[in-house]
Amino acid sequence: MLKQPKESSKHNPALPPCPPVRWSWGIWKEALQPNHEDDHAHAAVPIGPGAPKYATPFGAEEPTERPERLFLKPQNLFHSFSNSPAPGIRRRAAFMKSHAYCPHPDHRQTRVVLSPQDPEARKAAKKSTQAPAFVDFECPDCGIPVYCSEKHWMDDYEAHAEICDTLRQANEDDHDLHSGRYFHEFRYPGPQIEEILVNMTNWDTFLYTREFNAINEDRSMRQATRMLTYPMTIASIIHELSPYNIRAGGRLTVEGLKSLSALRYTLHPERSGGGPGVKGLRLRAPPARIFILGARAESSIPRDIWIQLEYLFHRAFIHLIFIGPESMTNRDAEFPLPERTPANPFGGIVEDRLSHNTKITTFVEYYHTMHKANYFQPFDPYFDCFVLFHPGLGHPASVHEWEETLPQLLETKVPIISTGYTEWDMQRDKQWVEEKMAGEVDILMEPGENKFRSLRWDLNDMDPTDLSCGNWGVWAFRGKRYETTMKD
């Protein structure tokens, strides 16, 4: 039986547990490049006779023949991490063996137990005596370094068997990214005529009615949904054809219907009769602002993926605003941070030429700092909403980061959409919000499984037994609104 995914944490007995490890687009971007062991950062140019066949502009010689690009066939995707033909995966194996601890219950605990599904709970129950040890032995069935020795792997095989098949699937999916094949599933459709309605019941109906290229393999489906889960999680809630409703089992509350109806009024405006030329000019509503707080991986995925939002809201302007201290991690070469000036006090990076109706702005700053400066005020429930991807609101290691921000978010009275890795993760966040702001919170959507979650399982390199699906669950809340009452 497969264990439900749980949040990740750093294994250090001297420190409190860290927030869940977040997936990074950098892994995928590296995977989709040719896998050369010694790639040069500059191009080679041919020179005169008697000289090497290739030389760099700086005079450094290159081999006469370039190494061939790695290519793995679908039947040859399983390799142990340490013996992988992909250098990036071999580096991950070395990282695991120097950071991840053996989960065998004979070892002492290395961190605080975070949930009932946490393997560390077994160590606490057994009162283990052996010192913690890093993983070193790779399971021959899944190829992942999971135990410190073959003896502990054999002794604990019954527990490992629960996730072994899923670990092997994650292994093959990682090698698929490094396989060198053509990823047809990463080709996205362009605009679609408004009269063709999309069906958001699930991934299959959406991809079909949105006219994506046919995805006939489960692995390709997992790779495609891993990135599309970010825009589609948002769209599935704020779109007028949302699969969530106020009927029994629909998870939407009456207050949620009120808030989302206001937002949908802006995102789905009536036809105005506008058209090309001066005579077709019409007034248009300001852009709908979607604030993505604590942004990490989601701020760096290809923009073609985020533009899919625009194609679902044909006549609306959308302004995506990524905010967080890690929103530009490992992207300095792509977008050097601008200087902070009176005109741009928080050093925002603006991408306003992506398309006609989409604009993206990124701030490397904490939201509560910008809120105090009244940088985004005023807020309007017809135009604004917040999105928190795996925020860890109630996580022991990240709760302090939200202590100041949460009251500010509730003060705006606009919808706040939050995702989680597991049901436990979301319920813990919800409990913390309700305890922290008792009586000042309206639940807009009950926690539950996200219909547009990632179908791919991801490994946590700090704990290889920790498997998670991106945006597995979703819920929403808002600052409590009080209705005016009249008295005689």
The pLDDT of residue 56 is above 60: no
Q: 272 or 175: which carries more pLDDT confidence?
A: 175
Average confidence score pLDDT of the chain = 84
Tell me which long-range contacts 114-118 makes (C-beta under 8 A, separation of at least 24).
114/6, 114/7, 114/9, 114/17, 114/395, 114/396, 115/6, 115/7, 115/422, 115/424, 115/425, 115/428, 116/424, 117/3, 117/4, 117/6, 117/422, 117/424, 118/6
Backbone dihedral region of 102: left (phi > 0), alpha (psi from -120 to 50 degrees) or beta?
beta
The pLDDT of residue 414 is above 60: yes
Predicted pLDDT at 1: 40
| pLDDT tens string 217-263 | 999 999 999 999 999 999 999 999 999 999 999 999 999 999 999 99
| pLDDT tens string 5-48 | 444 333 343 334 444 444 445 555 554 454 443 333 333 333 33
Collapse the DSSP code of 159 into the 3-class scheme (helix H, G, I; strand E, B; otherwise coil) and give the result: helix
Predicted pLDDT at 28: 55
Question: Which residues contact residue 212 at a Cβ distance below 8 angstroms, ignoring those fewer than 6 apart?
Answer: 188, 189, 224
| pLDDT tens string 158-200 | 999 999 999 999 999 999 999 999 999 999 999 999 889 999 9
* CB contact at 8 A, 221 and 208: no
Q: What phi and psi values does residue 341 have, to the nearest 5 degrees?
A: -125, 170
* CB contact at 8 A, 466 and 227: no
Name the residue with tokens 């790639």. 39
As given in the structure block, the two tokens for residue 408 are: 């500010």
As given in the structure block, the two tokens for residue 177 are: 């990214």
Q: What share of the chain is helix, strand, coil (3-state, %, to 5)?
A: 30, 15, 55
Residue ranges with strand state E in 139-296: 145-147, 288-293
The pLDDT of residue 4 is above 80: no
Q: How many helices (H) and strands (E) does the chain have?
A: 14, 12
Burial pattern 159-183, b for ≥16 Cβ within 10 A else e, equals bbeebbebbbbbbbbbbbbbbbeee
Q: 67 or 477: which carries more pLDDT confidence?
A: 477
| Nearest residue to 294 (alpha-carbon basis) of 478, 479, 27, 20 | 20
Collapse the DSSP code of 13 into the 3-class scheme (helix H, G, I; strand E, B; otherwise coil) and give the result: coil
Collapse the DSSP code of 420 into the 3-class scheme (helix H, G, I; strand E, B; otherwise coil) and give the result: strand
Burial of 458 (0-12, 13-18, 19+ CB in 10 A): buried
* CB contact at 8 A, 430 and 444: no
Biggest CA pair distance of the chain: 102
